[in-house]
Amino acid sequence: MSLTSSLRHLFRAVAGVVAAALFAWPGAMALAQAVPSNGAPPADVRGWLQRLHDATRNRAYSGVFVVTRGSEIATARIAHVCDGRQQVERIESLSGPARVTWRRDDEVLTVWPERQWALRDRRELLRLFPGPVGVPGIEVGGYYRAEPRGSERVAGYDAWVVDIVPADALRYGYRLWSEKRTGLALKVQTLRADGEVLEQVAFTELQLDAPLRLETLARQMDDTRGMRVERPVLNKTTLEAEGWRLRAEVPGFRPVTCWSRPAEAGRTRAPLQCVFSDGLAAVSLFFSTGEAAASQRAQAGATHVLVQTVAGTPVTAMGEVPLATLERFLGALEKTR
């Protein structure tokens, strides 16, 4: 199997285990600094991230956004409602295979209509678009700084533009367009150190304060009549509890969540995934149960994939970070039992 085919296979496998990048980690701690009340843009990165996060609370919006990754372009339609306590989101893919993804807080339902198949699960991951959230124990301001770049119009709305500049080469930078009145992220670019745009997500159509009802979306999400619904069982765990550790921390990255699947017939160890984040970027480590694998690496937009065998176990590191960051993770990983 070619490396390109392996990468496609990996992304399909990952999609069955983790939510798409659009789904937020719901247990996040609110960032401490409030957005200035005078309408001016925030002064630091924590203020900007709080502004983007607050924009998704107590608000309904709908629209179409486009994801550009190299020569690949994908389009989706989103409907989002939040009453300050609960949020429900519907994302319909408009390109590629038909797929609708629902999120109600940390509950995720992915539907493939043509196959009459649905996957219902719970997720605890970060998202950057349309708004990132804070992570307990992570001081994002220690690894990124904000550099305002004025204002522009996106999808018919006036937006503040800011660069989120990384402090080192272990993470990418971002350019954000935040709608001036509400703070909603209208456009996000992931940038390499030389300024090259690796990925871009942007609204092309947007209706703020859309006439959507949370109860209606929730009822539609619960209606899976005629579908085969799969509910994978994931067990919450830790890297250390599974007999692994990082002998040296990767600067800025902290463990966010870790889970394993129940053991299956013919397997000696359940598959394991652990997620680390610096508050914006996230890295996933996947522990396989197959035979030792040759080292492989691949890239799609801002996402790198690195496969290596550690202590006889094939481990895949994946994240929207430079390859050197994944190398640091796998280089520090060791088995304790």
* CB-CB contact of 177 with 152 (8 Å): yes
**Helix/strand/coil percentages in the chain, nearest 5:** 15, 40, 45
Which residue has 């692994």 as its token pair? 244
Handedness of CA 195, 199, 204, 207 (dihedral sign): negative
CA distance 116 to 228: 6
* CB-CB contact of 76 with 199 (8 Å): no
CA distance 218 to 201: 26
Q: What is the pTM of this model?
A: 0.83
Per-residue DSSP letter, 156: T
Domains of the chain: 20-230 (2.50.20.10), 235-335 (3.30.200.100)
Question: Residue-wise pLDDT tens for the chain (337 aa)?
Answer: 333 344 344 443 333 333 233 323 222 222 223 334 345 788 888 888 888 888 888 789 999 999 998 888 999 999 999 988 888 999 999 999 999 999 998 889 999 999 999 998 876 554 555 555 456 667 888 899 999 999 999 999 999 999 999 999 999 999 999 999 999 999 999 999 999 999 999 999 999 999 999 999 999 999 999 999 998 888 899 999 999 999 999 999 999 889 888 766 555 455 899 999 998 899 999 998 777 768 899 998 999 999 999 999 999 999 999 999 999 999 999 999 8
Which residue has 């709608």 as its token pair? 179
Kind and range of the H or E run holding 206: strand 197-208
Kind and range of the H or E run holding 55: none
